[in-house]
């Protein structure tokens, strides 16, 4: 089987980390097409290095832009590539614009689409990711899901059960495999002079928080008032918006915010493991917090990762100072001890391989 694996943005690289070696071991001829949606060394190269990923066979260099510009450029480049290569299937991951572009370009060429992390739904159509998920899933021939709820979401949208494979969460497999490699790694101490168990780790990059200065300012105020140092690796979309929200690196001392550049995957895992709590609006970080045993607060109106709330690892807060502080107090008092969701284990990539080897049912009309 010849498979093109489409990636473009930071969380995509991590999802294919455990997948590429498993595909190679199974004799599946899989090659990476990197759209170039994320391109800074700290948003792309570092993940290929940290995860020992094979170099992309194709780098399409599409870069940043509005949704239509970015998705359109990626579709044009991917269509040309798929048409020339004619793979047996195209595998897309997650919910970014590159995922949507890959699914659309392949479907128009009648190439079966396999969607890894299918079926997640926030129910919030103002999220670009929700649009991407809905469309990618409608166009996919095989749906690989992280939780039983995702299966039910797909069935409710008319996807046949035979196309759905509950493989588990590949982000969890990546955490489990890589935590074992970084037992001695302590970037909190070595790079940021923070003791393990003494700081809150924060990431904020969703437009619903970053594009409203008053919301970003309210979140920052919660960080300043939380009684812990807050280590905040800043996503490039958030960086230029910080000043408008009144956020600047406040220096050292209890209750201060440390703004730092995005960190690599292995450092990020270690920082999550060693934090006293995590405040985030990231999809992947909610899942990783659940796996490393650190209580999480998600500053969003909703989450498609509801299972992390169900097991007791995560709770929602609105982008208001009191709400974030109340959720953080609850998280700090929660004591941990939850169990990982079903099939968030080391065998996810093996289940993906088994599903692919079982055969992809073409969509109606494909010959």
User: Which residues bind to ligand UDP, rule: CB under 6 A?
Assistant: 10-11, 14, 203, 233, 262-265, 268, 282-285, 288
Secondary structure (3-state) at 47:
helix
Tokens of 216: 């970003």
- Nearest distance in Å: CB 139, ligand UD1: 17
- Output 14 or 22, the one with its CB closest to ligand UDP: 14
- Rounded to the nearest 5°, which phi and psi values hold at 108? -70, -20
**Four-residue CA torsion sign, 317, 319, 322, 328:** positive
| Distance, CA of 75 to chain centre | 21
E strands in 300-354 = 314-317
Determine which residue in the list 10, 121, 215, 228 makes contact with ligand UD1, applying CB under 6 A: 10
DSSP string computed for 254-274:
TT-EEEE----HHHHHHHHHH
State how far the Cα of 323 lies from the Cα of 316, in Å rounded to an integer.
9
Cβ closest to ligand UDP, residue 196 vs residue 362:
196
* 96 interacts with ligand UD1 by CB under 6 A: yes
- Helix or strand run (H / E) with residue 113: strand 113-118
Of 38 and 228, nearer to ligand UDP (C-beta) is: 38
Task: Rule CB under 6 A: say whether 72 interacts with ligand UD1.
Answer: no
9 interacts with ligand UD1 by CB under 6 A: yes
State the binding partner of 285 from ligand UD1, ligand UDP, none, CB within 5 to 8 A by kind: ligand UDP
Set 34, 205, 228, 235: catalytic member: 205
Asked if 196 is part of the footprint of ligand UD1 (rule: CB under 6 A), the reply reads no
Binder among 11, 56, 168, 295 for ligand UD1 (CB under 6 A)? 11
3-class SS of residue 329: helix
47 binds ligand UD1 (CB under 6 A): no
Residue 112 interacts with ligand UD1 (CB under 6 A)? no
Q: In what order do the strands lie in the sheet with 58-59?
A: 58-59, 29-34, 2-7, 89-93, 113-118, 142-145, 164-166
Residue 38 binding result from ligand UDP, ligand UD1, none, given CB thresholds of 5 to 8 Å by partner type: ligand UD1
Is residue 178 within a helix (H) or strand (E), and if so which, with residue range? helix 170-179
For ligand UD1, the closer CB: 227 or 240: 240
CB 118 within 8 A of CB 150: yes
**C-beta separation of 277 from 296 below 8 A:** yes
Helix (H) or strand (E) holding 142, with range, is: strand 142-145
State the nearest-atom distance from the C-beta of 262 to ligand UDP, in Å.
4
| Residue 263 touches which member of ligand UDP, ligand UD1, none, C-beta under 5-8 Å by kind | ligand UDP
Instruction: Classify each residue of 199-214 as buried b or exposed e, where b means 16 or more C-beta atoms within 10 Å of its C-beta.
Output: bbbbbbbbebbbeeee
Contact between 202 and ligand UD1 per CB under 6 A: no
Task: Answer with the entry of ligand UD1, ligand UDP, none that 121 interacts with (C-beta below 5 to 8 A by kind).
Answer: none
Does 115 qualify as catalytic in the annotation?
no
Q: Is position 228 an interface residue for ligand UD1 (rule: CB under 6 A)?
A: no
Residue 128 interacting with ligand UD1 (CB under 6 A): yes
Dist CA 113 CA 101 (whole Å): 11
Q: Are residues 312 and 334 in contact, defined by beta-carbon separation less than 8 angstroms?
A: yes
Q: Which does 14 bind (CB under 5 to 8 A by kind): ligand UD1, ligand UDP, none?
A: ligand UDP
Which partner, ligand UD1, ligand UDP, none, binds residue 175 by CB below 5 to 8 Å per kind? Answer: none
Shortest distance (Å) from residue 70 CB to ligand UD1: 6
Binding site for ligand UD1 (CB under 6 A): 9-11, 37-40, 43, 64, 70, 95-97, 128-129, 205, 235-237
Active site residues: 205
């Amino acid at each position: 089987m010849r498979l093109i694996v489409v990636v473009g943005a930071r969380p995509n690289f991590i999802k294919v980390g455990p997948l590429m070696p498993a595909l190679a071991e199974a004799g599946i001829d899989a090659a990476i097409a990197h759209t170039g949606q994320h391109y800074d060394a700290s948003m792309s190269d570092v993940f290929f290095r940290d995860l020992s990923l094979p170099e992309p066979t194709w780098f399409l260099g599409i870069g940043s832009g509005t949704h239509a510009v970015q998705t359109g450029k990626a579709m044009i480049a991917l269509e040309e590539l798929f048409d020339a290569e004619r793979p047996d299937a195209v595998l897309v991951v997650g919910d970014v614009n590159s995922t949507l572009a890959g699914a659309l370009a392949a479907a128009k060429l009648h190439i079966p689409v396999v969607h890894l992390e299918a079926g997640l739904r926030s129910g919030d159509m103002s999220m670009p990711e929700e649009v991407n998920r809905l469309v990618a899933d409608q166009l996919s021939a095989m749906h690989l899901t992280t939780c039983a709820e995702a299966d039910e979401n797909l069935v409710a949208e008319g996807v046949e059960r035979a196309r759905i494979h509950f493989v588990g969460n590949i982000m969890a497999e990546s955490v489990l495999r890589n935590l074992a490699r970084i037992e001695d790694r302590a970037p909190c101490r070595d790079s940021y002079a923070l003791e393990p168990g003494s700081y809150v780790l924060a990431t904020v990059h969703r437009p619903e928080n970053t594009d409203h200065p008053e919301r970003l300012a309210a979140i920052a105020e919660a960080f300043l008032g939380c009684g812990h140092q807050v280590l905040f690796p800043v996503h490039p979309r958030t960086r230029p918006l910080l000043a408008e929200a009144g956020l600047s690196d406040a220096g050292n001392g209890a209750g201060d915010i440390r703004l730092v550049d995005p960190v690599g995957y292995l450092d990020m895992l270690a920082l999550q493991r060693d934090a006293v709590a995590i405040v985030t609006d990231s999809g992947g970080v909610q899942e990783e917090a659940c796996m490393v045993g650190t209580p999480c607060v998600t500053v969003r109106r909703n989450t498609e990762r509801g299972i992390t709330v169900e097991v007791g690892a995560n709770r929602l807060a609105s982008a208001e100072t009191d709400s974030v502080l109340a959720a953080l107090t609850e998280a700090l008092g929660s004591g941990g001890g939850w169990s990982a969701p079903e099939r968030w284990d080391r065998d996810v990539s093996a289940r993906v391989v088994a599903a692919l080897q079982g055969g992809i049912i073409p969509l109606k009309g494909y010959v």
